[in-house]
Chain A
Amino acid sequence: MTDTPPDGKRPWQNVWRSRIRTSLSYVDGLMRSVALATRRHDGVEDDAHGRAPGPAAALDAGGANDHAPGLDPVAHRASLIGYVTGLGLAALLTAISFWVALDRETFWQPGVAVGLCVLAAAQMGIHLVFFLHLTTGPDNVNNALAVAFGVLIIVLFGAGTLWIMSNLDTMMLPPVPR
């Protein structure tokens, strides 16, 4: 500890400090450009049918509390933090799926298939919310209803197919010996 500089910090600490400061300034720059984009979007509506300010805007502000994480509620623009969160959660759930499938000692084996399905459904939900920005907000409720109808069809389709085909399989006569 004899070579400690007068400011009480060792040289490697200062190196790491400056490195962290530099990388933070990159992040700051990216966030600034995103903020700039949203502000520009507020000023110039790029759709032909921009919403008029007034009572409609007040209504929108009342009903728009339910917006996707990482999606700017005013400008409807995605932000970095939402995608990073989604990536982290999706990677975590994928890793857990592979672990559950491959570790044959930790888990109760008959329940693994159901567990994998639950993990997959959870990850699909993460993707829908954080990547596809599906919400139940006023401008997104049609999309959510379309997805809900799709889920209904898929469940009927998948469960119905498995039910009927397994039934046929059980009822089938054994092959006639030649």
Chain B
Amino acid sequence: MSSVGAAEDPHHLAHGHTAAARDEGGIAPKRIVVSYGFWLFLVSDIIMFSAFFAAYAVLVQATAGGPAGRDLFKLKMVAIETALLLASSFTCGLAVIAASARDMDWTQRALGATGLLGAAFLGLEAYEFSGLIREGAGPQRSAFLSAFFALVGCHGLHVSAGVLWCGTMMAQIWTKGFRADILRRLLCFGLFWHALDIIWIGVFTIVYLMGARS
């Protein structure tokens, strides 16, 4: 900026709006525009999650004589769930690398691994939820459990949507190839999947680790 601007406009009369600066300020590449729009969606989604977190934090003591977090949470299962999501984030990154290398086999393998790890996470979560409901600790037991099922279940629904999207991306890449628009969709899928892992960090810290201690 400074070197180019100084050469054309030594007294800074244009306040940085030199020809070169205008050139850079033209229409941004579509990849940048698309990812900005998707970032705005992710931020809105995370703000929605913050409402669920706030509701949970307010209601965590309201157990209505029922079981509290320390009676219910099995941290070994939570650790496995965390590892599954982290590994799937990594394989999702591998898929993006393989797609930029235009390597169909590795893209499909990495996306398949991402979807399978996500499905394994969902399986564990469904197992945990069904166990809680069988113990009589379902969402209707207390305000604490309503908030718990709403927050963790909402994250689970997002992961389900992500697994479906992952399968859709595999099919699209398989049939349409590495077209620019398909690659932008893959970029958005990657952002979505990594954002889910960020929300899970909040879930396992605030819900499970703090809940199991208090």
Contacts and interface: CB of A to CB of B under 8 A. Distances in A.
B47 A153 contact: yes
Contacts of A147: 39, 43
Given A56-B20, A98-B79, A143-B35, A158 B57 contact: yes
Nearest to A51: B29
Contacts of A52: 23
B32 A139 contact: yes
A85 B201 CA distance: 18
Contact of B213 (A46, A78, A112, A153): A112
B31 to A, nearest CB: 5
A58 B5 CA distance: 11
Interface of B: 1-4, 19-21, 23-24, 26-32, 35-36, 39-40, 43-44, 46-47, 50-51, 53-55, 57-58, 75, 79, 82-83, 86, 89-90, 93-94, 96-97, 100-103, 180, 183, 191, 194-195, 197-198, 201-202, 204-206, 209-210, 212-213
B210 A116 contact: yes
Contacts of B197: 127, 131
A47 B30 CA distance: 6
A135 interface: no
A71 to B, nearest CB: 11
A65 to B, nearest CB: 12
A91 B93 CA distance: 15
A98 B36 CA distance: 34
B97 A123 contact: no
A80 B50 contact: no
Contact of B50 (A87, A123, A158): A158
B97 A55 contact: no
Given A33-B103, A54-B23, A154-B50, A161 B1 contact: no
Contacts of B4: 55, 58-59, 62
